[in-house]
Copies of this chain bind each other. A is one copy, B any other.
């Protein structure tokens, strides 16, 4: 049987240190439940401390939840040098959190002991040991997080190992080697981890907690596992302070699918893409499309050679089957791609043209795409517009409404700017004439369009715009240039893109807005 690696998720604690990430208590509860369902071994919920109301509140609420797979962990520090462990408010807070697992960080870099903590090296060892011993006496599973371990090991390996030994003396169940500053190289992480694995009794689990400041957070985690670590800490989507924590969405499939280790139930690993998107959504951060394994672009092919090869055999240009992690293959269409991309696209979209359709239809579609690309259209991020184009060309699509006119008025008066849009259109022989305000002309137009269509297509309510991009083409003409607008929309878990081009920015936006709705309705999303 292959080795098991315990995944210790710290999305709710270290992940929440990321710039722009702020979880409410309700967010934290939802995330914890989702992570439990996914099947991580530990969920670190926060630092229950008097000054951290949300974290303490989370642990109170979490007491009511029964987790299926995960154990809940509370995070904190070793006792303050001036306190006995049993009188230390921080350690008391940890115990009172009720979490069955407690992780405390302490210093393992001599420089930090003397410069940041400003105490003697021996005193630090005593604090580590006694803090852990106190928590063990309270019947908890205890991990010692050796802060700055790798810098410490580089500076004074003997002292760094003595700190680990002090944690063992205190009765720690595990020692987590923390690559706090995130700048270590994989080769050094391997060596130092191996030194600890060799020095410490097998009954004590060795873990790794890496950051991504050198772009090596994942590699450092994997190297630590190669050196004998059996516990890996990280964050879904790699959120975290500075460049983020080691990304569990990348670590988990590498460990499980590449290195043949067990970390997540093999039935659950296909939930990975969904879990990633869910947490982006809760954090209200835009998806990272290029993210390995789970990103929207992770299995997207653009080059003509790659596409024709992938059509023969996906393994030729894909390192894993995307379905294993719940992702899928995508083929992008651009001027770098030939007829094979379009044919793939047509078959991927499941489009069948009516009997007797022109045999040259694919060729005609390629011609239309090239012509539009010359005008500045781009279909790579606009699969919705691509499909509408194909269906229109094949005569299998008819518009959802007929436009009479639209009009935007944007006015600045007395320092205040207002935007209004009026839209007049005919839907199923019914004329709709509506007006709406927005915080900009495109927003106003979007609102008016939805208002006009809502009674016919109530599902519009559940759809939202998630991204809006403007590119001025041929920038040398100043405000007289052509403009391309790309819109990304979402309904629940589904994302799609549409495009519009015009020398008028509002008209380009209108095109993309209309197609975003048309596509949703066409596909019954």
Contact = CB atoms under 8 A, between A and B. Distances in A.
Contacts of A299: 242
Contacts of A408: 408-411, 441
Nearest to A118: B312
Nearest to A313: B115
A440 B504 contact: yes
Interface stretch (A57-65, A452-460, A477-485): A477-485
A479 B446 contact: yes
A378 B215 contact: no
Contacts of A406: 411-412
A51 B340 CA distance: 14
Interface string A478-518: 11110100010000000000000011111101100000000
Contacts of A319: 181-184, 213-214
Contacts of A403: 412
A393 interface: no
A72 interface: no
A332 B438 CA distance: 31
Say how many copies of this protein the assembly contains. Answer: 2
Interface string A1-40: 0000000000000000111101010000000000000000
A153 B298 CA distance: 24
Interface residues of A, number: 122
A476 B481 contact: no
A97 interface: no
A222 interface: yes
A504 B441 contact: yes
Query: Which residue among A112, A336, A440 has the maximum number of chain B CB atoms within 10 Å of its CB?
Result: A440
Interface in A142-198: 180-187
Interface string A410-445: 111110010100000000000000000011111100
Contacts of A213: 292-293, 298, 319
A31 to B, nearest CB: 14
A51 B338 CA distance: 9
A480 B18 CA distance: 24
Helix, strand, loop or mixed for chain A's interface? mixed
A207 B200 CA distance: 40
Interface stretch (A123-131, A300-308, A344-352): A300-308
Given A441-B505, A472-B470, A254 B214 contact: yes
Interface in A247-271: 247, 250-251, 254, 258-259
A246 to B, nearest CB: 9
A251 to B, nearest CB: 8
Query: Which residue among A185, A412, A419 has the maximum number of chain B CB atoms within 10 Å of its CB?
Result: A412
Nearest to A404: B413
A419 B334 CA distance: 32
Contact of A441 (B116, B183, B223, B441): B441
Contacts of A247: 215
A133 interface: no
B298 A480 contact: no
A241 interface: yes
Contacts of A223: 186-187
Nearest to A246: B215
A465 interface: yes
Contacts of A475: 286, 466-469
Contacts of A115: 312-313, 316
Given A185-B259, A441-B505, A504-B419, A242 B300 contact: yes
29 contacts: A17-B303, A52-B336, A181-B317, A183-B258, A186-B186, A187-B226, A214-B250, A214-B258, A241-B301, A241-B302, A242-B290, A243-B290, A244-B290, A404-B413, A405-B411, A405-B414, A408-B409, A408-B411, A409-B409, A410-B506, A417-B506, A442-B505, A465-B478, A466-B475, A467-B478, A469-B472, A470-B471, A470-B505, A478-B487
**Pairs of residues from A and B, 6 with the lowest C-beta to C-beta distance, nearest first:** A183-B319, A465-B478, A219-B219, A215-B250, A470-B470, A215-B292
